Amino acid sequence: DADVTQTPRNRITKTGKRIMLECSQTKGHDRMYWYRQDPGLGLRLIYYSFDVKDINKGEISDGYSVSRQAQAKFSLSLESAIPNQTALYFCATSGDRDYNEQFFGPGTRLTVL
């Protein structure tokens, strides 16, 4: 079984809809991250969380919000989706002992029409 899972894997939605992407992990890691990947831009950090009570904005947090429901769960929400949020979204985790090594989920491909 995968250590980091993301649901859904694919989602098509319309402009203005609220969307939630979910991430779960069984690695026991405290640190979790949300990235978006766009062609030619690599991965950019949206939000990160070092534990349940610690959530921080990343490079491109505008238009997004997150919730850390438990150590194992970290959700990303788009309150009112817009077409330029069409991208591949990745969740990642890292442990406290080697927090520089991140483990990635399989990604969620989101299309906003």
Partner 1 sequence: AQSVTQLGSHVSVSEGALVLLRCNYSSSVPPYLFWYVQYPNQGLQLLLKYTSAATLVKGINGFEAEFKKSETSFHLTKPSAHMSDAAEYFCAVSESPGNTGKLIFGQGTTLQVKP
- Whole-angstrom distance, CA of residue 94 vs CA of residue 48: 11
Applying the rule CB under 8 A, the residues between 38 and 57 that interact with partner 1 are 40-45, 48
Neighbour-count burial for 13-34, b at 16+ CB within 10 Å, e otherwise: beeeeebebbbbbeeebbbbbb
We find the least distance from the C-beta atom of residue 106 to partner 1, in angstroms, to be: 5
100 binds partner 1 (CB under 8 A): yes
31 binds partner 1 (CB under 8 A): yes
- Footprint of partner 1 (CB under 8 A): 4, 31, 33, 40-45, 48, 58, 90, 92, 94, 99-107
